[in-house]
Amino acid sequence: MKAFQLIPAIAEYEDFSTYAKEAQLGGNDLILTNEYIYSPVIERLELGCQTLFQEKYGMGEPTDVMVDAILDELRGREYDRIIAVGGGTIIDIAKVIAVARPEDRVDDLYDRMASLEKVHPLVIVPTTCGTGSEVTNISIINRTTKGIKQGIVSPAMFATEAALIPGMLASLPYGVFATSSIDAMIHAVESYLSPNACAISELFSEQALHLILTGWRAAVDNGSRDAWKKFAARFLRASNFAGIAFGHAGCAAVHALSYPLGGTHHIPHGQSNQMMFADVMRKYQEKKPIGKLNKLEELLAKELNVEPVFALEELYKLMDAVLEKKPLHEVGVTTEELPVYTTTVLETQQRLLNNNYVELTAEDILDIYSKAF
Ligand SMILES: [Fe+2]
């Protein structure tokens, strides 16, 4: 039995200025962020920190090429703390940079994953409400040389502090809110169903689901695209709680099956998860209708005000109202790719598949892809 442990300190701040004062940010700190986040909020505080803007080294989700370019840029620079302010890409890159020695390249870190050590203290300020990555010790990098997204994981990659500042979500476009909150919801569900869940991680999964589902319902009923912003603090906290839950119990098949889609077709992570979610849950229901899944259905039923037997279908509907689910063929996936994905998932995603509610065979996985197609 793995003991529940929460490593990063977690603090909520009213705004970035309050955090900067308390942390005494200055010239010895490196702020890793995007210019569009830095310019309106941080620049005017004149903190004198060093900066590095990720988008200058590549766009989209983190790749080995992008991280190697950043490591090249940082070689020879003197700095102590890394303050990562951003979404999943920034956070994943920062965790890797925090354990990289000056001479390292990304492949070196995969090679010595078991013995990585923290080189820089790391503070993470999330600006989306999805990854929960501020409290986990894993980064997902698209290894372009291998054509696969793969996790790099180490106890050394935990942040020193996760700083939650709801105001940092203010400029989030609706699409990013939608995909990131869907990702957080799926973290809560997968960690809840995981055989590695414990009574404490379940509390965080349950509370994350409560915050997200009531927030979605209120935002959808309001009808305005910006309505979710009233609940920004709630979604930020929910994604943090879901991160704490999956940091302990792990994610599972939804994430495992979604990675090849993201890697090959560059679909946002939360969206590719959404594309797999319902069909993975249906396969779970088919293979093991009696079990923890019923506890999840009861929990969802209470939040969504329906009978447990309709709870998952109701959840898919609500999620569709937040972001319409696309079938795989609409994003360019071909039928020929499905058996290839199935093999890739079985070969490279055992870390996640081990957390499945019920074991999935190659035939099951191919069937899930075919139904989502
Ligand atoms: Fe995720």
Q: What is the mean pLDDT of residues 285-311?
A: 98
pLDDT, residue 148, reads 80
**pLDDT tens digits for 219-230?**
999 989 999 999
- 79 C-alpha to center of ligand 1: Å? 30
Whole-angstrom distance, CA of residue 57 vs CA of residue 62: 10
Q: What is the mean pLDDT of the chain?
A: 96
Burial classification of residue 118, based on how many CB atoms lie within 10 Å of its CB (0-12 exposed, 13-18 middle, 19 or more buried): middle
Q: H-type helices in 292-372, by residue range?
A: 292-304, 311-322, 337-348, 350-353, 362-372
CA of 221 to the centre of ligand 1 (A): 26
Of 43, 323, 83, residue with least CA distance to 181: 323
Residue 241: name the closest of 214, 212, 282, 215 by CA: 212
How far, in Å, from the CA of 184 to the mean position of ligand 1?
Answer: 7
The predicted structure's pLDDT at residue 204: 98
Residue pair 8/159 in contact by the 8 Å Cβ criterion? yes
The pLDDT value recorded for residue 39 is 96
Q: Listing from the earlier edge strand, what are the strands of the sheet with 82-86? A: 9-12, 161-164, 122-126, 82-86, 30-33, 50-53
Ligand 1: distance of its center to the CA of 270 in Å?
Answer: 6
Instruction: Pick the closest to residue 13 from 123, 167, 229 (CA basis).
Output: 167
The CATH topology of domain 9-169 is: Rossmann fold (3.40.50)
Burial of 9 from C-beta contacts in 10 A (0-12 / 13-18 / 19+): exposed
pLDDT score at 138: 92
What is the pLDDT at residue 60? 83
CA distances from 213 to 21, 210, 235, 303, 322 (A): 35, 5, 10, 7, 11
Distance CA 324, CA 326 (A): 6
Q: What per-residue confidence (pLDDT) applies to 210? A: 98
Centroid of ligand 1 to alpha carbon of 240 (angstroms) = 12
Name the more confident of 146 and 34. Answer: 34
* Phi (first) and psi of residue 367, to 5 degrees: -65, -40
Reply yes or no on whether the pLDDT at 192 is more than 80.
yes
Q: What distance in angstroms lies between residue 181's CA and the mean position of ligand 1's atoms?
A: 10
| Ligand 1 geometric centre to CA of 256 (Å) | 10
pLDDT bin (cut points 50, 70, 90) of residue 106 is: very high
pLDDT of residue 41: 94
User: What is the homologous superfamily of the domain 174-372 according to CATH?
Assistant: Dehydroquinate synthase-like - alpha domain (1.20.1090.10)
pTM of the entire predicted model: 0.92
pLDDT at position 6? 95
Q: Which residue carries 């994953």 as its tokens?
A: 113
What does the pLDDT read at residue 289?
96
CA of 62 to the centre of ligand 1 (A): 14
- Residue 369 CA, distance from chain mean position: 22
Segment 296-304 shows an average pLDDT of: 98
pLDDT of residue 149 exceeding 90, the answer is: no
Say how many Å lie between the CA of residue 1 and the centre of ligand 1.
24
Centre of ligand 1 from the C-alpha of residue 75, in Å: 30
pLDDT (0 to 100) of residue 301:
98
Asked whether 328 and 373 are in contact (CB, 8 A), the reply is: yes
Q: Is the pLDDT of residue 290 over 80?
A: yes
User: Is residue 137 a contact partner of residue 128, using CB atoms and an 8 Å limit?
Assistant: no
Domain boundaries, the chain: 9-169, 174-372
C-alpha 249 to ligand 1 mean position (Å): 13
Tally of CB atoms within 10 A around 229 = 17
